[in-house]
Amino acid sequence: MTANDLPARIDERACLDFLARMVQHKSYTETDGEKVLAGFMVEQMRALGLDASLTPVPGDRVNAIGRRAGTGGGRSLLFNGHLDTNPVSEGWTVDPWEGKVDDAFIYGIGVSNMKAGDAAYFCALRTLIEAGVKLKGDVVLTYVVGELQGGVGTAALIDQGVRADYFINSEPTDLAALTMHAAAFTFTVELTGKTRHMSKREEAVDAIAAACDLVPRLNAMKFSGARSSAHAGINRVHVGVVHGALGRELHEWRPPQVADYVRVRGSGRVAPGQSRAGAVADIKAVLGELMQRFPGLEASVTTEDGRLSMPAFEVPRDSRIVRALNRAYLAVRGTEQPTGAVTPPGFYGTDAGHLFERAGMEGIVCGPGGRYNTMPDERVDIVDYLDMVRIYMLTILDICEAG
């Protein structure tokens, strides 16, 4: 049997059933459900013969970590994905916990973000083991929690010494090879004007009017200092909260008059080589121009510190892990793999940032799903999920080597 024969050996029904079982676990972030799913993953990894266990995460949480030891002499490969999910929103037309499979899709909350990626690397390794393939290098499967809290689960496993020569983070990229993504940060802008009764609004400095001027300018920003057009291409700002009324307590109980205070909260993305400090300086410059357009307005910006945030991530296009993944994609799909700072995934924050910056590891972000991510009737194309299993199999063989 050759490596090219192995992708045809996957049990498609078993792969879909395994993903459906993961979806059926209600693993909302920071709930007992994520512990239950982590325990399930440990049981499944042990059934494959992996050395697997639950490991602690701050906040009385756990990761599920498993290792398939190689025979020696090969490179090791770590897969990384999170088990915690967002809540179910309004607008679903299918049961978000059923793991429904039809002719084209598998549905469920968290199936795209990112249980399909989690299941794909489990099924890839399972298929190799069941085919009797021996590997020279170790394969490490990590199922983490706390991605929605800035990646606390991955930070914990790194601090506990979990490492490999290369990694694949399986966040949903629609099977593109993401070689760079931005760092994420959040900010708060405070605008303070001067209130007057509406009869004398010409004398006021209207903080809401200033906010209406400001928000589209923030949303259009790209920060200074980008290393290249590709780096500039994953810069982004978006305002998600605007609250204005009277005073810093935002009083709304009297009939409205000219608002003198607005709080604006948003998120920013900066590429590798750019800094949060530089981004804040750019926002301050925009606020300076705003204050000139609205004489008497006071404006300031602060960032949220003390909470873990996702660092930027970048890997050279000629890295062995990138080339291995590209070769596997070509073998499975017969076309070149989209590779680079692909958007929208380039705007993500992912645990790859921690593996890159905190652990000093070289890796790639590539997973099934993305098109229907974080929306009602969240789903993943079946063909993409199964092809991801095949691509991961060939990548494992390339990096870890049969022997």
The 10 Å Cβ neighbour count of residue 241 is 10
H or E stretch covering 273: none
Q: pTM for the complete prediction?
A: 0.92
Q: What is the pLDDT of residues 140-183, one digit of tens each?
A: 999 999 998 999 999 999 999 999 999 999 999 999 999 999 99
Q: What is the pLDDT of residues 340-394, one digit of tens each?
A: 999 999 998 899 999 999 999 999 999 999 999 989 999 999 999 999 999 999 9
List the chain residues with pLDDT less than 50.
none
Exposed, middle or buried, 277 (CB in 10 Å: 0-12/13-18/19+)? exposed
Cα 244 versus chain centre, distance: 31
Cα 266 versus chain centre, distance: 18
Phi, then psi, of 337 in degrees rounded to 5: -80, 130
* Contact status, residue 266 vs residue 239, Cβ threshold 8 Å: yes
Tell me what pLDDT residue 2 has.
63
Alpha helices in 75-185 (DSSP H): 116-130, 152-159
* Contact status, residue 59 vs residue 385, Cβ threshold 8 Å: no
Exposed, middle or buried, 266 (CB in 10 Å: 0-12/13-18/19+)? buried
Phi, then psi, of 319 in degrees rounded to 5: -60, 150
C-alpha 100/C-alpha 317 separation (Å) is: 37
Q: Which residues contact 64 (CB under 8 A, 6 or more apart)?
A: 38, 39, 41, 42, 45, 52, 53, 54, 55, 83, 142, 143
Counting residues of the chain whose pLDDT is more than 90, the rounded percentage is 94
Tell me what pLDDT residue 403 has.
83
